[in-house]
Amino acid sequence: MKASVQYDDFVGTAAADISDHTNLKKFLEAKNVDTERYQAIGVSFYCGYSRFFSASVICIDNEQSTAENKYIVKMGFDIDKDEFFNLFKRFNVIISQKHGGYENLEIDEEIMFGEDETEE
């Protein structure tokens, strides 16, 4: 599985910690999904202009899977950003320009700017 958009001008990685209050299985159960058949293994979200947001849970379909091949499905849900991101305690995404080898570099320093501050 790999994230992709139309041009992939930026590529990167993501990491997340599940919420202390819920998990993907509980989320699916609340949406009346058969969690014996569908085993949650990940998520996907997509954002665009005009406040467009969509979210999906990635699952193994245990009925369609075989011992040799896991059958993966992506289930879309009508949820907003807050409901989606509340599934996680922390969520971090880092992207960099696709060309230039930047994905192999480490950040050396983090500089924070406030509303009334500027760097000199």
The number of residues in the chain equals 120
Place of tokens 């059958």: 71
Q: Indicate whether 115 pLDDT > 90.
A: no
Question: What is the average per-residue pLDDT within 3-21?
Answer: 94
Place of tokens 């040799």: 68
- Distance, in Å, from the CA atom of 15 to the CA atom of 2, rounded to the nearest integer, reads 13
Q: CB-side exposure of 34: number of CA atoms within 13 Å? A: 6
Specify the pTM: 0.85
| pLDDT tens readout for residues 36-54 | 999 999 999 999 998 899 9
Cα 42-34-36 angle, rounded to 5 deg:
80
Amino acid identity for residue 33 in this structure: V
Percent of the chain scoring above 90 in pLDDT? 86
Amino acid identity for residue 68 in this structure: E
